[in-house]
Structure 1
């Protein structure tokens, strides 16, 4: 028997600090089971190196070590927490890059990485009852006792953020990793193996998103055969009203609820008309004035540094695509990126998802064979832009990275200009998205001018006035380390705005550059525009719910920034409901003539405010024309059309904004891909560079232009701008 053993190797410390003997043996067919009970584990060679198997105490067979080590870690922690009467949380961190690292690093180096991650997690949670150990390859087991006033999600979130921001030294390399966290709350009714299995189910769901958000186990994660059988769609889905019914309901609430309040107060002897009338006039005038100030601020935007503060480093571009929707245009997009003029190494990653094989994938593969800068990356588990971007993160080699939708053609100098900002301290740079298919339809022409009011006016104006910019989902350039930590969250309909707010609240600086240009496509039909803007509006509502009060209370923001975020996140949700409030007030006054005293007192004030705001549409179009990209500004008739349609278009967007909370309440969060129209050949800019035609809205998987100069709803005929934004 002794002849079958190669050698006895050095003692290895276990997570619990106990030294146990290790023995190395030849290939698995020679492994014997009649070993001395004191031998804890064996090492046997497999295809990838040495694989350890552990003996189950008291039995004559062996299990993989990672299984028993994970169980031992859970048992150790639970035995401690039982003595305190507390329950505990069993969590797993999987290192998303572990598979690729095992292909190029020795097994010892991979284990060293996991040891470092485990030690870092252990340093954060040293309280009684916690235990940290290794599980399956690439896994770190984390067991924490429950603590009053501290959620498990917050505890694991702290671990994840710390691990993601750390550089790990492995074989002389500095590595950054993506921890994938899943956890489950356990009590005495759940055995250790079941707790680990459930934590792995949660971790598997987190691995599909790669957004580093801790995922808690839910019974719905169980395989289909373990789920109770259901017939048909869920009841709340079957009873969900149509968009038309939801519009009627939201409008009825907007008009009927205030009227009911006025009538109730009047029966109690109170006349609300004079107070409400004055408040409406002030809100109308205040909204318009703020918009005017933002537009004036855009005339003197922050200037891009003349030269970079450091040599041009390696850069990366991520193009996120849902390929069936982009197959007609994606090759042109890739070629546009390969023509970029950047002096440093440039890596171009196309991260795409598709439910079926498409012939264009062969074309993309041929391009990759001929140009090593281009890397097509199929993300088979993805269903969103956020997942595509997150999946591409481990592939990034650049010091900074540009994020784009699949219809974008950046200007040749885009990456040069972005680095000039980033090298001087900016964390994120948002460029100017210009429509390149404005000729396609009246809808695309309207969107083309709207985008100029957003990217050429509102973005730089807000950055100047309020001290922060917004990443709008495309043509945005991030420091790679910051994007690695921030990620895109697929749970948000506007993942870009959510990422922007988290970045701003962490104290980082986002700048807006109207001269950093990229050309994209706009929706060309009303139905496509409706679906796109509905998703944006609902996404903004989600972001406002999640971040508004955190932003107001953030110690890392200045008073000016907090006021700007209160306007952007708070007032933009309130204004669409206020825009119609004159109508219930007028009807109330007609039905109760004796209440007209306040009405008559304030009518002149309201007329002045209405006239003041009625100029908002023409002035908005004027600023957009003055600051527009040359490819759009040459179409003067488009600006005239936008000015004339502004009242109707603003109320169209107000209707959608009022619909967003209703859909969120009904849990209707469907993602509709924006159809792509194949554009005409790109026009030529004045400097001779190729540039797309004007007019376009963000691509399907993308988030809209964040925070824009607002055209808004009507109040007794007045056009009032409110903070609107792409997302």
Structure 2
């Protein structure tokens, strides 16, 4: 090749590297599931032992009259020594019947259920929790503090499965498996159920192996007294991701976080796309904020903690920058196509074959981690990436002719239609994210929920999460209102 062609060669190599980098989230998922089996031999169980400390349960509640009574009743029936369990409901200036319900339970169970009232509320979950934590830590009784949401229901044996890890003084906190537990499930709650299997039973097991936990579940986090006192005796405020920041601060103090997959907690999740979008937007914006707060932490290994390790950083940024990785790969493929290099098909097939193999491996593995949810949500597990993505995977694995010289979906064989169809294949990632935005708009129309479900099945639940992440970028860049938005719960949880 002549010297005159070297700029083009350099550009092609650069674009191929971009395509490869764009597969970072897929490779991270594959690594996570390859690490997962090691949890059978590298876990905390050898250091755990039967242990029953005095546990103060702190339940933040704002207008939770529909769910708080059932939550208290279930807590009182946990398989845990009754004399070692106290329940503190922090009433965040509720305007419904929450105070009456809690006071009624306190009267029925004196010395076990307590009502703590905040006269001025609306500051967010962290402030509500801190009101209860300060009250609990002011007395010497509590040896551990369980932080939960007002609507969740703990399986009867869950608490004692969590406390056994606190027998090891190096452990600062334990988190449980939050499972989607709505009685009347719809397509969206089933998708969430599959997501939680992947994000918790798979991801957090892998994090146990690698030694760093990204986040203690907000609905079920058990702290030792010493751990809360080490981080100042309060939950950090000033961010939308107080759960994650608490997790980071605890590990920076040198204490170990443990995920207990066998402690099961049932939660009610959003049933509408708009409600899910608002919830996940808060989570995503919180992660963007924390990435900046801990900017000196990333990829700096430490002997005190593993938050600065390369595997943890890779995992964090694979999720945080997932839309950016997707755009990088898609537009690099498009550039290779426009350069007429004849290498774009190879890069395309590599990208989507790797994605297909990872998808099949991870889904088959995931549904076995929680067979009950996997059986109920088999359709959502199968269609998690979306029908459109599955078609793209099929084309990548089984191309009808070389060079993607194929007919389009409408049977056209002209050069222009084949070229347009190839562009659609290469840009499917950003197209699917746009489809998720459209699905949210459609839901607001009369009868729109049915068609919204069809759109999510077609464009994929993963693309929906990516679209929400993009929205979080935009909201943070615009410095939009970041007030804490409560997810409405009406007591649909069953266990």
| Residue 670 (structure 1) aligns with | 483
Within 1, Cα distance between the matches of 2:100 and 2:145? 26
Residue 148 (structure 2) aligned to one of 396, 404, 413: 404
Written as runs of structure 1 = structure 2, the 5 A alignment for 1:572-611 is: 572-588=319-335, 595-597=339-341, 600-601=342-343, 603-611=345-353
Aligned partners of 1:408 and 1:518 also within 8 Å: yes
Q: Does 1:528 align with 2:275?
A: yes
Q: CA deviation at 1:467?
A: 4.3
Q: 1:439 to 1:638 in 2, by over 3 A?
A: farther
Instruction: Return the offset for 1:443.
Output: 0.9
Residues 545-602 of structure 1: CA deviation (Å, up to 9, x unaligned): 1114235446444678521332233343333112023443455456xx5x333xx346
Instruction: Give the secondary-structure state (helix, strand or coil) at the position aligned to 1:403.
Output: strand
Q: Name the counterpart of 2:160.
A: 416
Please give the secondary structure, in 2, of the residue aligned with 1:434: strand
Q: Partners of 1:418 and 1:478 in 2: how far apart?
A: 10
User: 1:568 maps to which residue?
Assistant: 315
1:502 aligns with 2:249: yes
Partners of 2:23 and 2:259 lie apart in 1 by 27
Asked if structure 1 preserves the Cα contact closer than 8 Å seen for 2:230 and 2:253, the reply is no
Matched, 1:630 2:372: yes
- Aligned mates of 2:20, 2:328 — CA distance in 1: 13
C-alpha separation in 1, matches of 2:229 and 2:478: 33
Give secondary structure in 2 for the equivalent of 1:630.
helix
Q: 1:308 to 1:453 in 2, by over 3 A?
A: closer
Identify which of 437, 443, 447 aligns with 2:182.
437
Structure with more contact order per residue of length (Cα contacts < 8 Å, sep ≥ 6):
2
User: How far did residue 458 of structure 1 move?
Assistant: 0.8
Q: CA deviation at 1:541?
A: 0.5
The structural deviation recorded for 1:390 is 0.7
Which string of whole-angstrom CA distances, capped at 9 and with x for unpartnered residues, describes residues 26-76 of structure 1? xxxxxxxxxxxxxxxxxxxxxxxxxxxxxxxxxxxxxxxxxxxxxxxxxxx
Equivalent position SS for 1:581 = helix
Residues 222-268 of structure 1 deviation map (CA, whole Å, 9 limit, x = unaligned)? xxxxxxxxxxxxxxxxxxxxxxxxxxxxxxxxxxxxxxxxxxxxxx9
Give 1:194's aligned residue.
Answer: none
Q: Please state whether the residue corresponding to 1:533 is helix, strand or coil.
A: helix
- Contact 1:576–1:655 (CA<8 Å) still a contact in 2? yes
Q: Which residue of 1 aligns with 2:431?
A: none
| Maintained 8 Å contact 1:506/1:556 | no
The answer to whether the aligner puts 1:446 opposite 2:446 as a matched pair is no
2:293 to 535, 546, 551: 546
SS in 1 for 2:222: strand
1-structure distance, mates of 2:67, 2:195: 23
Instruction: Report what 1:98 is aligned to.
Output: none
Tell me the distance in 2 between the aligned counterparts of 1:588 and 1:307.
54
Give the conservation status (yes or no) of the 8 Å contact 2:147–2:221. Answer: yes
Contact preservation (8 Å) 1:351, 1:379: yes
1:362-420 deviations in Å (ceiling 9; x for gaps): 22112101212111212223321101111111332321111101111111122211121
Q: Match for 1:313 among 37, 53, 57?
A: 53
- d(CA) in 2 for partners of 1:502, 1:456: 23
Aligned equivalents of 2:296, 2:377: Cα separation in 1: 42
Measured in 1, the distance between the counterparts of 2:347 and 2:299 equals: 32
Task: Mark the CA change 1:507 to 1:606 in structure 2 (over 3 Å): closer, same or farther.
Answer: farther
SS for the counterpart of 2:178 is strand
Question: Structure 1 CA distance, aligned partners of 2:261 and 2:353?
Answer: 31
- Residue 633 of structure 1 deviates from its aligned partner by 4.2
Aligned in 2, Cα 1:421/1:582: closer, same or farther, shift over 3 Å? closer
CA distance in 1, matches of 2:308, 2:67: 39
What residue is the counterpart of 1:122 in the other structure? Answer: none
> CA, structure 1 residues 461+565, in 2 after alignment: closer, same or farther (shift >3 Å)?
closer
2:54 touches 2:142 (CA, 8 Å); kept in 1?
yes
d(CA) in 1 for partners of 2:71, 2:219 = 13
Separation (CA, whole Å) in 2 of partners of 1:417 and 1:468: 18
Task: Summarize the Cα distance change of 1:306–1:646 in structure 2 as closer, same or farther, 3 Å threshold.
Answer: farther
**Cα deviation 1:465-512 (Å, max 9, x = unaligned):** 354453121211111221234222231101011111112222211111
TM-score (norm 2): 0.75
Which position in structure 1 is the counterpart of 2:462? Answer: 650
Aligned partner of residue 673 in structure 1, secondary structure: coil
CA distance in 2, matches of 1:501, 1:388: 20
Question: Where do 5+ consecutive residues of structure 1 fail to align?
Answer: 1-267, 683-690, 692-727
Of 658, 672, 679 in structure 1, the residue corresponding to residue 492 of structure 2 is: 679
Larger gyration radius, structure 1 or structure 2? 1
Q: As a proportion of its length, which structure holds more helix?
A: 2
Q: Which residue of 1 aligns with 2:219?
A: 474
Q: Structure 1 length as normaliser, TM-score?
A: 0.52
Aligned-residue Cα RMSD (Å) equals 2.7
Partner residue, 1:394 = 134
**Cα distance change on mapping 1:385 and 1:580 into 2, 3 Å:** same
Task: Name the structure with the higher strand share.
Answer: 1
In structure 2, runs of 5+ residues without a counterpart are: 1-5, 387-456
Query: How far has the Cα of 1:462 moved from its partner?
Result: 2.0
